[in-house]
Amino acid sequence: MIRAVKGTHDILPPESAVWNRVESTAREIFDLYGFSEIRTPVFERTELFARGVGEDTDIVSKEMYTFEDRDETSLTLRPEGTAPVVRSYIEHQLYQDPQVLKLYYLGPMFRRERPQKGRYRQFHQIGAEVLGSDNPAIEAEVLEMLELFLGRLGIKESTLLVNSIGCSRCRPRFLQRLKQELAAKKDLLCEDCQRRSETNPLRVLDCKVESCQPIIDGLPSILDFLDDGCRAHFDKFLSYLKERGIGFTVIPRLVRGLDYYTRTTFEITSRILGAQNTLIGGGRYDGLAELLEGPPTQGFGFALGLERLILVVQQTGNLMASLPPQLFLAPLGEAAFARSTLLARDLRRQGIRCAYDFEPRSLKSALRLANKLQAQFALIIGEAELHSGKFQLKRMSDGEQVEVSAEQLVERMRG
C-alpha cells in the first residue's frame, strides 16, 4: 500500500465540508473589509525566502523543501505566504495604485517540521496583507476583522497577545543589551539559543525549550527600549483596540518566528489546541519590500493555520459538517427508478438537495436509509404513482404523508 507522505494528510468528507464552510466565511468577511484574493505559485526561487524570511530563522535554516530544477535554479516549496505576496506586489508594480492595497491568500504551505497534532509538513494557511499604510488604525481594523471572522465560526475562547518589537532605529540598542545578558548566561541556554544569542538574539525570546524559559523570563523587555515613534505607534494601536472593545494581553517576549517583522506583532491563541496553541500570527513588516528590492512600502498582515482552526471549530462544534439532503427519493421498481433519476435532475436544477440509492431497495429499507442520511422528506414512487403522476411525500420528522404532483413537490420543498 502506498501511504500519504509523513506530515501530509488527506482532507476527507465530511470534514472537507467544514473546510469549505470556513474558507467561504473567510472570503465573505475579508470581502466586507475590502480585501481581494491573490494567488501566487506554490514554488518560488529559494532566494526569495532566504532573503525575505531570514537565513537564521528555523524555517529557512531547517525546514524548507528546496530542490534544484533541471536548469539548476534552486526552487523552494513556499513555507509561508507573505514573501511571495510582496514579490508579486513588486513584480507587477501594484504600488502604482495610490490606494492602500488589501490582499488575501489561501492555500498550502510546506515546512519540514516534526509532525505532531496541529503541526504538519504540508499545511494550509489563510493570510491577509495590507500594503502601503503605517497607520496603527489599519492594524486594529485587521484584528477587528479577525474577531468577526472567528465569531462567525462560533469561536469565542481565543486570546489576543500583542507586542511591539520596535524598528531598525531603536531595536539595535535592545539587541546589544540582549546579547550582553545572554552572553553571561550562555552555558544555561539550549544549543540553538547559544547560536542564536550571537547571530539573532531576538529569536531566543521565541524559544520553546523548557530549560530556556526561566532565563528568557529574566531578560529585559523590548518595550523599555522603544523610541518615541514606536512607542506612540504602539500606544495608538492599543487605544484603537480598546475603542473597539477588543481584549488583549501585552506580551513583551512575543517576537514571532520570521525576521521581517517591525513594530506591532500579535498572535491569537486557543487553549483547545494544547501545545501548538497559536492559531493566528501576524504583524508589521515595513522593511520587507525594500529587502526584496522594491520601493519602501509599509506592510501589515497575518496568517492563520487552517488545520488548527478546523480543530477548534470541530471542538466547539458550531459548524455542521455538511447539509443533509432535503429529499430522499425512494423508487420501487425499475420504471420508477428511471423516473426518479429524471425527477432528481429537475429538482437539483432548481436548487433542491436530493439523494437516492442506485441499488434496488424495499420501501422499508429505503426509508431507513433516508433516516440515516437525515433527509427532511422522502418521496415514494411506486407503480401507482407513475401512472397517476402523483407522489407520496413523507415528512421524516413526524411521518406525515401527503400526495403531491411534480409541480407541487418543488413548491413544497422550496417552502
> Which residues lie near ligand AMP (CB under 6 A)?
80, 111, 113, 118-120, 123, 125, 257, 278-281, 303-305, 307-308
Least separation in angstroms between CB 202 and ligand AMP: 15
**281: Cα within 13 Å, side-chain hemisphere:** 17
Q: Which is nearer to ligand AMP, 122 or 322 (CB)?
A: 122
Q: Which is nearer to ligand AMP, 287 or 305 (CB)?
A: 305
Q: Which is nearer to ligand AMP, 265 or 340 (CB)?
A: 265
Least separation in angstroms between CB 104 and ligand AMP: 14
Beta carbons of 100 and 94 less than 8 angstroms apart? no
Least separation in angstroms between CB 256 and ligand AMP: 6
Q: Which is nearer to ligand AMP, 281 or 325 (CB)?
A: 281
Residues constituting the chain: 415
In whole angstroms, give the CA distance from residue 280 to residue 336: 53
Grid coordinates representing 390? 402523483
Determine the 3-state secondary structure of 254 from DSSP: coil
Q: How far is CA 385 from the centre of its chain?
A: 50
Tell me which residue of 36, 124, 25 sits closest to 88, measured CA to CA. 36
- Which pairing describes strands 158-164 and 249-250: parallel, antiparallel, or unpaired? parallel
Question: How would DSSP label each residue in 121-178?
Answer: SEEEEEEEEEES---HHHHHHHHHHHHHHHHHTT---EEEEEEE---TTTHHHHHHHH
The residue nearest ligand AMP at its CB is: 305
In whole angstroms, give the CA distance from residue 65 to residue 77: 6
Alpha helices in 189-299 (DSSP H): 191-199, 213-217, 228-243, 288-291
Q: Which is nearer to ligand AMP, 277 or 408 (CB)?
A: 277
Tell me which residue of 21, 299, 239, 257 sits closest to 149, measured CA to CA. 21
Q: Which is nearer to ligand AMP, 201 or 281 (CB)?
A: 281
In whole angstroms, give the CA distance from residue 93 to residue 131: 12
Least separation in angstroms between CB 111 and ligand AMP: 5
Least separation in angstroms between CB 270 and ligand AMP: 10
In whole angstroms, give the CA distance from residue 283 to residue 268: 11
Q: Which is nearer to ligand AMP, 307 or 385 (CB)?
A: 307
In whole angstroms, give the CA distance from residue 220 to residue 252: 9
Q: Which is nearer to ligand AMP, 267 or 385 (CB)?
A: 267
Least separation in angstroms between CB 107 and ligand AMP: 12
Least separation in angstroms between CB 176 and ligand AMP: 26
Q: Which is nearer to ligand AMP, 123 or 328 (CB)?
A: 123
Least separation in angstroms between CB 124 and ligand AMP: 8
Least separation in angstroms between CB 121 and ligand AMP: 7
- Which pairing describes strands 262-270 and 74-77: parallel, antiparallel, or unpaired? unpaired
User: What are the CA-CA distances from residue 372 to residues 250, 328, 369 (Å)?
Assistant: 50, 11, 5
Q: Which is nearer to ligand AMP, 94 or 109 (CB)?
A: 109
Grid coordinates representing 315? 471542538
Least separation in angstroms between CB 131 and ligand AMP: 18
Beta carbons of 262 and 167 less than 8 angstroms apart? yes
